[in-house]
Amino acid sequence: MGDPEAQERHDPRVLALKAGLLAVWAAVSFGVCFFARDLQFRIGPWPFDFWMAAQGTVLVFIALVAVYAVVMKRLAPGDNVPPGAGGDG
């Protein structure tokens, strides 16, 4: 499919991060919506199942993107340097 050497250069921490975030996304997207009828408690005037289906999954997705950005910034600080601003020019 691609260069085998490029696949070997993938950081296992990055792959673990992607797998973990994907698992959280799948659990929230499919799990909460699948079991929505069983989630019968209220948050303010709204039932939790309605709130989670309407707003919660979108907010969780945005939080996952933010977590991914923060963790990737820490895992690969050299990748964040713009061209020409670093030492190797």
Name the pTM for this structure: 0.64
Q: Is residue 36 part of a domain?
A: yes
For the segment 18-29, what is each residue's pLDDT rounded down to a tens digit? Answer: 999 999 998 888
The boundaries of the domain holding residue 43 are 10-75
Q: Is residue 4 part of a domain?
A: no
* E strand map for 1-89: 42-43, 46-47
Give how many domains the chain has, as a whole number.
1
Q: Is residue 86 part of a domain?
A: no
pLDDT at 29: 81
Distances (CA, A) of 39 to 1, 16, 29, 51, 54: 43, 30, 14, 11, 14
Q: Is residue 57 part of a domain?
A: yes
Q: Is residue 89 part of a domain?
A: no
User: Do residues 32 and 45 lie in contact, with contact meaning Cβ atoms separated by under 8 Å?
Assistant: no
C-alpha–C-alpha distance, residues 68 and 72, integer Å: 6
